[in-house]
Structure 1
Amino acid sequence: MANHKSALKRHRQSLVRNSRNNMVRTRIKNVVKEVHSAVDLKDTELAATALRKATSILDAAATKKVIHARAASRRISRLHAAVNKMA
């Protein structure tokens, strides 16, 4: 690691951003699991609410550039397809 004052600051910033991004990615995984479990239970109401929540979180992550915008769009599309297939 570099010893310059600016390099040390950049390192501190990267650690903060890394931890924040990890939290967002974990949250994405959890909400996607909620949608899939609701689909497995064939609970349309629970699946719809979980889908709305997942869509919101995935869009926010894409806006913050935690995940790529197309990756978020693809995941949302697949979740919608799974929920619509159930109904």
Structure 2
Amino acid sequence: MANTPQAKKRIRRNARRTEINGNRVSRIRTFVKKVESALAAGDKSAAVEALAAAQPEMARGVAKGVLHKNTVARKFGRLTKAVSALA
């Protein structure tokens, strides 16, 4: 258990940050799922719109430090490739 005031503060801060970061990741996943569901339905226009909405959310996740830059680059590349492949 934490003894010092600073250690106690770190525990409080870490709990707050964990909740905020979890919400951020969840929000990003929701945007990605919208793109994937549009792809599954074969709706190119909806997929393009969803992808355009997902890209800044994913970039914000990188900027805030909740996701790794290469992870987001890989996911975005795969989604873009899948959307482009729709006829």
TM-score (norm 1): 0.94
Secondary structure at the aligned position of 1:76 is classed as helix
Distance 1:55 1:34 in 2: 12
1:65 corresponds in structure 2 to: 65
1:49 aligns to 2:41 (yes or no):
no
CA deviations 1:6-64 (Å, max 9, x no partner) are: 00111111011100110011111111110011011111111111001111111000011
Give the ranges of 4+ consecutive aligned residues of structure 1 lying more than 2 Å apart after TM superposition: none
Identity of aligned residues (%): 34
Q: Residue 72 of structure 2 aligns to which amino acid in structure 1?
A: A
Structure 1 spans left out of the alignment, 5+ residues: none
Which residues of 2 match residues 64-83 of structure 1 at below 5 A? 64-83=64-83
Distance 1:53 1:4 in 2: 44
Which residues of 2 match residues 24-39 of structure 1 at below 5 A? 24-39=24-39
- Residue correspondences, number: 87
Structure 2 spans left out of the alignment, 5+ residues: none
Secondary structure at the aligned position of 2:74 is classed as helix
TM-score (norm 2): 0.94
Secondary structure at the aligned position of 2:2 is classed as coil
Distance 1:13 1:49 in 2: 37
